[in-house]
Amino acid sequence: MKGTERRKAILDWLDQERTLSLAQIVERFKISKMTVHRDLDALELRSALKRIHGGVVAIERSSGLASSPQGGTGQGNCVVCFRPASQHLLYSLTLNNGEQRVACCPHCGVSAHLVLGDQVAMALTADYLTGRPHPARGSYFVLGSAATPCCRPSMLTFEDIEMARRFQTGFGGSVGQLEDAIKYLQEEMSLHRDGENCPHCAAMARRE
């Protein structure tokens, strides 16, 4: 298969799956990791996809969760607070209609869950230590720790519960899963309506 044909096939596959790992692409096309990296670099330069640590996600091509002051979220920007999304904090949600929402961190990802509710078909989050994407529903959230690399209150996700507990030992907070994170954010929104939290969450709390 020629490189152009393979890259088109990767995009078609990504359009169906919304997220792919490097290992999946290597296995399916029987090519080396270096070839995969070259293909993905070329596609990212065309803004055809977004690279994350260990894989790729489809780029949102429809309107976001909310409009930014400039009239749109922009590619790679959080649909909740409009900050640029980083690989080690990226949180993506796929809706029942196939559309995708990208959040800058698990805090905003959980905030999007609160807004979208049953519209969310699947969510992926990145392990805070490795950046590796994995399902949010099976993730372990460290809630309210002293480490605040993005929005507040801090929410960081880990693929392994032991690593989550070790992080908690050093930085505080509590460990829970997605349902706990949703409940935690709801409580924080009601308690700290005008505090130093995500501006989107503060606005949501004031509307309640």
Q: How many CB atoms lie within 10 A of CB 68?
A: 14
Confidence at residue 191, expressed as pLDDT on a 0 to 100 scale: 64
Whole-structure pTM value: 0.61
CA–CA gap between residue 138 and residue 160 (Å, rounded): 9
- Of 197, 67, 63, 56, the C-alpha closest to 131 is 56
Per-residue model confidence as pLDDT tens for the chain (208 residues): 888 899 999 999 988 888 888 899 999 999 999 999 999 988 887 778 888 777 888 775 443 344 333 333 334 678 787 777 777 788 999 988 888 889 989 999 999 998 888 999 999 999 998 888 899 999 999 999 999 888 888 999 999 999 999 999 999 999 999 999 999 998 887 765 544 455 445 444 444 4
Confidence at residue 206, expressed as pLDDT on a 0 to 100 scale: 42
Q: How many CB atoms lie within 10 A of CB 154?
A: 21
Confidence at residue 63, expressed as pLDDT on a 0 to 100 scale: 38
Confidence at residue 196, expressed as pLDDT on a 0 to 100 scale: 46
Confidence at residue 201, expressed as pLDDT on a 0 to 100 scale: 54
CA–CA gap between residue 132 and residue 129 (Å, rounded): 8
Is domain 3-57 given the CATH code 3.20.20.80 in the classification?
no
**Domain spans in the chain, listed from the N-terminal domain onward:** 3-57, 91-207
